[in-house]
Structure 1
Amino acid sequence: MNQAPLMIQHSCRIPVRLADCFALYTRLKANEYIHSDAVIAPITNIEMIQGKSFNEVGDIQRITFKGGAIIDEEVLAFVPNRQFVYKGTGFSQPLLNWLDHAKGSFEFEKDGDGTLVTWRYLFYLKTGLGHTPKRIVFKALVVDLIWHRMMTKTLVNLTQIITLRAMQTGKKS
Protein backbone atom coordinates (compact mmCIF):
# COMPACT_ATOMS: atom_id res chain seq x y z
CA MET A 1 0.00 0.00 0.00
CA ASN A 2 1.40 3.39 -0.97
CA GLN A 3 1.16 6.09 1.64
CA ALA A 4 0.76 9.78 1.03
CA PRO A 5 4.04 11.65 0.67
CA LEU A 6 5.48 13.71 3.50
CA MET A 7 5.20 17.39 2.61
CA ILE A 8 6.86 20.57 3.72
CA GLN A 9 6.51 24.05 2.28
CA HIS A 10 7.71 27.54 3.04
CA SER A 11 6.96 30.87 1.41
CA CYS A 12 8.67 34.22 1.21
CA ARG A 13 7.88 37.57 -0.32
CA ILE A 14 10.45 38.96 -2.72
CA PRO A 15 10.12 42.71 -3.47
CA VAL A 16 10.57 42.18 -7.22
CA ARG A 17 7.88 42.13 -9.91
CA LEU A 18 6.63 38.64 -10.81
CA ALA A 19 8.07 38.35 -14.34
CA ASP A 20 11.46 39.72 -13.25
CA CYS A 21 11.54 37.53 -10.13
CA PHE A 22 10.80 34.38 -12.14
CA ALA A 23 13.35 35.28 -14.83
CA LEU A 24 16.06 35.95 -12.25
CA TYR A 25 15.24 32.71 -10.40
CA THR A 26 15.52 30.61 -13.56
CA ARG A 27 18.99 32.00 -14.26
CA LEU A 28 20.32 30.87 -10.87
CA LYS A 29 22.16 27.61 -10.25
CA ALA A 30 21.20 25.70 -7.09
CA ASN A 31 24.66 26.23 -5.57
CA GLU A 32 24.09 29.99 -5.64
CA TYR A 33 21.25 29.94 -3.12
CA ILE A 34 20.83 26.51 -1.46
CA HIS A 35 21.77 26.79 2.21
CA SER A 36 24.53 24.55 3.53
CA ASP A 37 25.98 24.19 7.00
CA ALA A 38 27.49 21.52 9.29
CA VAL A 39 24.52 19.17 8.58
CA ILE A 40 23.71 20.07 4.97
CA ALA A 41 26.76 19.62 2.75
CA PRO A 42 27.56 22.30 0.19
CA ILE A 43 27.09 21.63 -3.51
CA THR A 44 30.42 20.96 -5.22
CA ASN A 45 29.25 20.34 -8.79
CA ILE A 46 26.20 20.65 -11.04
CA GLU A 47 26.32 18.72 -14.29
CA MET A 48 23.71 18.71 -17.04
CA ILE A 49 22.87 15.09 -17.90
CA GLN A 50 20.13 15.95 -20.41
CA GLY A 51 19.29 19.35 -21.87
CA LYS A 52 21.21 22.61 -21.60
CA SER A 53 19.51 24.97 -19.19
CA PHE A 54 17.49 23.02 -16.59
CA ASN A 55 14.56 25.21 -17.64
CA GLU A 56 12.71 22.82 -19.97
CA VAL A 57 10.61 19.75 -19.26
CA GLY A 58 12.84 16.68 -19.46
CA ASP A 59 16.08 18.49 -18.58
CA ILE A 60 18.11 16.52 -16.01
CA GLN A 61 20.91 17.79 -13.81
CA ARG A 62 23.13 15.87 -11.40
CA ILE A 63 24.02 17.67 -8.19
CA THR A 64 27.07 16.47 -6.26
CA PHE A 65 27.60 17.47 -2.65
CA LYS A 66 30.77 17.63 -0.56
CA GLY A 67 31.37 14.11 0.67
CA GLY A 68 30.16 12.55 -2.58
CA ALA A 69 26.37 12.45 -2.15
CA ILE A 70 24.52 12.78 -5.47
CA ILE A 71 20.97 13.72 -6.46
CA ASP A 72 19.59 13.67 -10.01
CA GLU A 73 16.88 16.25 -10.69
CA GLU A 74 14.52 16.28 -13.67
CA VAL A 75 12.28 19.18 -14.71
CA LEU A 76 8.66 17.95 -14.73
CA ALA A 77 6.87 21.25 -15.39
CA PHE A 78 7.92 24.74 -16.37
CA VAL A 79 5.20 27.38 -16.54
CA PRO A 80 6.72 30.84 -17.12
CA ASN A 81 5.96 33.34 -14.34
CA ARG A 82 4.09 30.67 -12.39
CA GLN A 83 5.72 27.36 -11.58
CA PHE A 84 8.86 25.24 -11.73
CA VAL A 85 8.46 21.53 -10.75
CA TYR A 86 11.22 18.96 -10.51
CA LYS A 87 11.75 15.38 -9.37
CA GLY A 88 14.76 14.21 -7.37
CA THR A 89 16.06 10.63 -7.48
CA GLY A 90 19.17 8.71 -6.52
CA PHE A 91 19.53 10.12 -3.01
CA SER A 92 22.53 8.48 -1.39
CA GLN A 93 22.87 10.28 1.94
CA PRO A 94 21.98 8.43 5.17
CA LEU A 95 18.21 8.58 5.82
CA LEU A 96 17.64 10.07 2.37
CA ASN A 97 18.38 6.67 0.87
CA TRP A 98 14.98 5.68 2.31
CA LEU A 99 13.42 7.80 -0.44
CA ASP A 100 12.04 6.42 -3.64
CA HIS A 101 11.95 9.97 -4.98
CA ALA A 102 10.99 13.52 -4.09
CA LYS A 103 9.12 16.24 -5.96
CA GLY A 104 9.90 19.87 -5.45
CA SER A 105 8.19 22.95 -6.79
CA PHE A 106 8.75 26.67 -6.72
CA GLU A 107 5.50 28.55 -7.25
CA PHE A 108 5.37 32.26 -8.04
CA GLU A 109 2.38 34.51 -7.39
CA LYS A 110 1.95 38.25 -7.78
CA ASP A 111 1.81 39.92 -4.36
CA GLY A 112 1.20 43.64 -4.76
CA ASP A 113 4.36 45.05 -6.33
CA GLY A 114 6.35 41.97 -5.35
CA THR A 115 6.20 38.19 -5.65
CA LEU A 116 5.17 35.47 -3.23
CA VAL A 117 7.42 32.45 -3.75
CA THR A 118 6.37 29.10 -2.26
CA TRP A 119 8.81 26.20 -2.17
CA ARG A 120 7.07 22.86 -1.68
CA TYR A 121 8.79 19.51 -1.27
CA LEU A 122 7.10 16.09 -1.26
CA PHE A 123 9.03 13.07 0.00
CA TYR A 124 7.98 9.64 -1.33
CA LEU A 125 9.51 6.94 0.87
CA LYS A 126 10.29 3.45 -0.37
CA THR A 127 7.76 0.87 0.77
CA GLY A 128 8.70 -2.38 2.43
CA LEU A 129 9.75 -3.80 5.75
CA GLY A 130 10.01 -1.16 8.46
CA HIS A 131 8.21 1.49 6.40
CA THR A 132 6.11 2.91 9.27
CA PRO A 133 8.97 3.40 11.76
CA LYS A 134 11.19 4.82 8.99
CA ARG A 135 8.42 7.26 8.06
CA ILE A 136 8.18 8.48 11.67
CA VAL A 137 11.96 8.93 11.98
CA PHE A 138 12.23 10.54 8.53
CA LYS A 139 9.47 13.05 9.31
CA ALA A 140 10.96 14.00 12.68
CA LEU A 141 14.60 14.27 11.63
CA VAL A 142 14.64 15.09 7.93
CA VAL A 143 11.38 16.96 7.29
CA ASP A 144 10.66 18.74 10.57
CA LEU A 145 14.24 19.45 11.65
CA ILE A 146 16.77 19.46 8.81
CA TRP A 147 14.59 20.37 5.80
CA HIS A 148 12.62 23.00 7.73
CA ARG A 149 15.83 24.82 8.68
CA MET A 150 17.37 24.41 5.22
CA MET A 151 14.26 25.69 3.43
CA THR A 152 13.94 28.69 5.74
CA LYS A 153 17.56 29.74 5.28
CA THR A 154 17.55 28.99 1.55
CA LEU A 155 14.52 31.23 0.96
CA VAL A 156 16.27 34.05 2.84
CA ASN A 157 19.26 33.56 0.52
CA LEU A 158 17.00 33.46 -2.54
CA THR A 159 15.23 36.67 -1.48
CA GLN A 160 18.52 38.51 -0.97
CA ILE A 161 20.09 37.32 -4.23
CA ILE A 162 17.06 38.04 -6.43
CA THR A 163 16.49 41.43 -4.79
CA LEU A 164 20.14 42.44 -5.26
CA ARG A 165 20.26 41.26 -8.86
CA ALA A 166 17.01 43.08 -9.63
CA MET A 167 18.46 46.28 -8.16
CA GLN A 168 21.60 45.86 -10.27
CA THR A 169 19.53 45.57 -13.44
CA GLY A 170 17.00 48.23 -12.42
CA LYS A 171 14.09 45.75 -12.22
CA LYS A 172 13.07 45.86 -8.56
CA SER A 173 9.43 47.01 -8.50
Structure 2
Amino acid sequence: MTIELLIGAADHTVPITVQQRSSLAPADAFRLIMPIDLPTVFHRVGPFPGVRSVINQTEPWDHAGPTRNPQFEDGSQADEQLTECVDGVSFAYQLTGFTNVLSRLAAGVRGEWNFNPDGDGTLIRWTYEFKPLPGRRWIVAGPFAPLWRRYMVVALDRMVRWSEAAVKTPVA
Protein backbone atom coordinates (compact mmCIF):
# COMPACT_ATOMS: atom_id res chain seq x y z
CA MET A 1 0.00 0.00 0.00
CA THR A 2 1.37 3.40 -1.00
CA ILE A 3 0.38 6.26 1.28
CA GLU A 4 0.45 9.75 -0.19
CA LEU A 5 2.19 11.88 2.40
CA LEU A 6 0.95 15.39 3.11
CA ILE A 7 4.35 16.88 3.94
CA GLY A 8 7.52 16.65 1.89
CA ALA A 9 11.10 17.90 2.19
CA ALA A 10 10.37 21.17 0.34
CA ASP A 11 7.47 22.19 2.59
CA HIS A 12 7.91 25.01 5.12
CA THR A 13 6.13 23.60 8.14
CA VAL A 14 5.50 24.70 11.72
CA PRO A 15 6.43 21.91 14.16
CA ILE A 16 5.22 21.99 17.75
CA THR A 17 6.77 19.40 20.08
CA VAL A 18 5.92 18.42 23.64
CA GLN A 19 7.40 15.71 25.80
CA GLN A 20 6.76 13.97 29.09
CA ARG A 21 8.39 11.19 31.04
CA SER A 22 6.59 8.02 32.04
CA SER A 23 7.47 5.27 34.49
CA LEU A 24 6.44 2.71 31.86
CA ALA A 25 8.88 0.87 29.62
CA PRO A 26 8.88 2.22 26.03
CA ALA A 27 7.11 -0.84 24.60
CA ASP A 28 4.35 -0.61 27.23
CA ALA A 29 3.84 3.13 26.76
CA PHE A 30 3.65 2.61 22.99
CA ARG A 31 1.23 -0.33 23.30
CA LEU A 32 -1.16 1.68 25.47
CA ILE A 33 -0.93 5.13 23.88
CA MET A 34 -0.98 4.28 20.17
CA PRO A 35 -4.56 2.88 20.12
CA ILE A 36 -5.84 5.10 22.96
CA ASP A 37 -9.49 6.13 22.96
CA LEU A 38 -9.31 9.74 21.73
CA PRO A 39 -12.36 11.08 23.67
CA THR A 40 -10.74 9.82 26.90
CA VAL A 41 -7.76 12.16 26.56
CA PHE A 42 -8.68 14.97 24.16
CA HIS A 43 -10.91 17.36 26.12
CA ARG A 44 -11.58 21.03 25.42
CA VAL A 45 -8.61 23.27 26.20
CA GLY A 46 -9.06 26.99 25.56
CA PRO A 47 -10.53 27.53 22.10
CA PHE A 48 -9.91 23.95 20.96
CA PRO A 49 -12.72 21.39 21.24
CA GLY A 50 -12.30 17.92 22.63
CA VAL A 51 -12.81 14.77 20.59
CA ARG A 52 -16.41 13.54 20.92
CA SER A 53 -16.02 10.26 19.01
CA VAL A 54 -14.20 8.48 16.20
CA ILE A 55 -16.10 7.06 13.23
CA ASN A 56 -15.33 5.14 10.03
CA GLN A 57 -12.18 3.43 11.32
CA THR A 58 -11.17 1.06 8.52
CA GLU A 59 -8.84 -1.33 10.39
CA PRO A 60 -7.16 -1.78 13.77
CA TRP A 61 -4.93 1.22 14.60
CA ASP A 62 -1.72 -0.83 14.76
CA HIS A 63 -0.03 -0.52 11.35
CA ALA A 64 0.39 2.00 8.53
CA GLY A 65 -2.69 2.44 6.36
CA PRO A 66 -5.89 2.61 8.45
CA THR A 67 -8.06 5.72 8.26
CA ARG A 68 -10.69 7.21 10.56
CA ASN A 69 -12.62 10.41 11.25
CA PRO A 70 -12.27 12.09 14.64
CA GLN A 71 -15.47 13.99 15.50
CA PHE A 72 -15.01 17.09 17.64
CA GLU A 73 -17.32 18.52 20.31
CA ASP A 74 -18.03 21.60 18.18
CA GLY A 75 -19.51 19.42 15.40
CA SER A 76 -16.44 19.55 13.16
CA GLN A 77 -14.33 16.61 12.01
CA ALA A 78 -11.08 15.64 10.26
CA ASP A 79 -9.71 12.81 8.14
CA GLU A 80 -6.89 10.86 9.81
CA GLN A 81 -4.56 8.21 8.39
CA LEU A 82 -1.87 6.22 10.17
CA THR A 83 1.18 6.64 7.92
CA GLU A 84 4.02 4.95 9.80
CA CYS A 85 4.43 2.44 12.60
CA VAL A 86 7.59 1.00 14.12
CA ASP A 87 6.28 -1.33 16.82
CA GLY A 88 7.27 -0.26 20.31
CA VAL A 89 9.22 2.77 19.06
CA SER A 90 7.22 5.30 17.04
CA PHE A 91 4.18 6.00 14.91
CA ALA A 92 3.01 8.82 12.67
CA TYR A 93 -0.27 9.95 11.17
CA GLN A 94 -1.65 12.79 9.12
CA LEU A 95 -4.80 14.82 9.56
CA THR A 96 -6.45 16.60 6.64
CA GLY A 97 -9.95 17.65 5.65
CA PHE A 98 -10.58 19.75 8.75
CA THR A 99 -14.07 21.25 8.82
CA ASN A 100 -13.23 23.79 11.57
CA VAL A 101 -10.99 26.88 11.71
CA LEU A 102 -7.91 24.75 10.99
CA SER A 103 -9.16 24.41 7.41
CA ARG A 104 -8.40 28.12 6.99
CA LEU A 105 -4.92 27.88 8.49
CA ALA A 106 -3.35 24.61 7.35
CA ALA A 107 -3.57 22.06 4.54
CA GLY A 108 -3.08 19.47 7.25
CA VAL A 109 -0.89 18.14 10.02
CA ARG A 110 1.59 15.32 10.51
CA GLY A 111 1.61 13.91 14.03
CA GLU A 112 4.57 11.86 15.21
CA TRP A 113 5.11 9.98 18.47
CA ASN A 114 8.46 8.66 19.72
CA PHE A 115 8.94 6.43 22.77
CA ASN A 116 12.56 6.66 23.91
CA PRO A 117 14.23 4.73 26.75
CA ASP A 118 14.83 6.99 29.76
CA GLY A 119 16.39 5.12 32.68
CA ASP A 120 13.71 2.70 33.91
CA GLY A 121 10.99 4.56 32.01
CA THR A 122 10.24 6.37 28.78
CA LEU A 123 10.63 9.84 27.38
CA ILE A 124 7.60 10.36 25.14
CA ARG A 125 7.92 13.02 22.42
CA TRP A 126 4.92 14.13 20.39
CA THR A 127 5.25 16.49 17.43
CA TYR A 128 2.44 18.14 15.51
CA GLU A 129 3.84 19.47 12.23
CA PHE A 130 1.47 21.93 10.58
CA LYS A 131 1.58 22.53 6.82
CA PRO A 132 0.29 26.13 6.70
CA LEU A 133 -1.75 27.42 3.80
CA PRO A 134 -0.10 30.16 1.71
CA GLY A 135 0.14 33.37 3.71
CA ARG A 136 -0.90 31.69 6.97
CA ARG A 137 2.46 30.53 8.33
CA TRP A 138 2.85 33.63 10.50
CA ILE A 139 -0.49 32.91 12.19
CA VAL A 140 0.31 29.25 12.85
CA ALA A 141 3.87 29.98 14.04
CA GLY A 142 2.85 33.10 15.98
CA PRO A 143 -0.37 33.44 17.97
CA PHE A 144 -1.68 29.93 17.26
CA ALA A 145 1.38 27.88 18.35
CA PRO A 146 1.36 28.57 22.13
CA LEU A 147 -2.37 27.84 22.33
CA TRP A 148 -1.93 24.56 20.46
CA ARG A 149 1.11 23.62 22.57
CA ARG A 150 -1.06 23.95 25.71
CA TYR A 151 -3.69 21.63 24.15
CA MET A 152 -0.95 19.07 23.46
CA VAL A 153 0.59 19.34 26.96
CA VAL A 154 -2.78 18.68 28.61
CA ALA A 155 -3.60 15.75 26.29
CA LEU A 156 -0.16 14.16 26.71
CA ASP A 157 -0.43 14.41 30.48
CA ARG A 158 -3.83 12.67 30.37
CA MET A 159 -2.37 9.92 28.16
CA VAL A 160 0.58 9.30 30.46
CA ARG A 161 -1.58 9.25 33.60
CA TRP A 162 -4.16 6.97 31.93
CA SER A 163 -1.53 4.52 30.63
CA GLU A 164 0.32 4.33 33.95
CA ALA A 165 -2.99 3.70 35.75
CA ALA A 166 -3.92 1.02 33.19
CA VAL A 167 -0.76 -0.93 34.04
CA LYS A 168 -1.54 -0.73 37.76
CA THR A 169 -5.18 -1.68 37.14
CA PRO A 170 -5.25 -3.64 33.85
CA VAL A 171 -7.97 -2.60 31.42
CA ALA A 172 -10.32 -5.45 30.52
**Alpha-carbon distance between aligned partners in 2 of 1:159 and 1:83, rounded to the nearest angstrom:** 16
What TM-score do you get using the length of structure 2 for normalisation? 0.86
Q: Deviations over 1:90-119 (max 9, x none)?
A: 112224432111100111011111111000
Q: Which moved more, 1:79-88 or 1:35-44?
A: 35-44
Note if contact 2:30-2:88 (Cα within 8 Å) is conserved in structure 1.
Answer: yes
Classify the secondary structure of the residue corresponding to 2:61. Answer: coil
1:135: how far off?
1.5
With over 3 angstroms needed to count, the CA separation of the structure-2 counterparts of 1:36 and 1:73, relative to structure 1, is: same
1:139: how far off?
1.7
Task: Judging by fraction of residues, say which structure has more helix.
Answer: 1
**Alpha-carbon distance between aligned partners in 2 of 1:164 and 1:59, rounded to the nearest angstrom:** 27
The answer to whether the aligner puts 1:23 opposite 2:31 as a matched pair is yes
1:99 corresponds, among 95, 103, 106, to: 106
What TM-score do you get using the length of structure 1 for normalisation? 0.86
Task: Name structure 1 gaps, 5 residues minimum.
Answer: none
Classify the secondary structure of the residue corresponding to 2:78. Answer: strand
- Identify the residue that residue 135 of structure 1 maps to in structure 2: 137
With over 3 angstroms needed to count, the CA separation of the structure-2 counterparts of 1:78 and 1:3, relative to structure 1, is: closer
- Identify the residue that residue 44 of structure 1 maps to in structure 2: 52
Identity value in percent = 22
Q: Deviations over 1:20-56 (max 9, x none)?
A: 11111134122221242341112112013422x2222
Runs of 4+, deviation exceeding 4 Å:
none
Matched pairs, number: 162
Task: Name structure 2 gaps, 5 residues minimum.
Answer: 1-9
Note if contact 2:111-2:129 (Cα within 8 Å) is conserved in structure 1.
Answer: yes
The amino acid across from 1:139 in the alignment is A
Name the larger-Rg structure.
1
The amino acid across from 1:9 in the alignment is T
1:6 corresponds, among 6, 10, 14, to: 14
Q: What is the CA RMSD across the aligned residues, in angstroms? A: 1.8
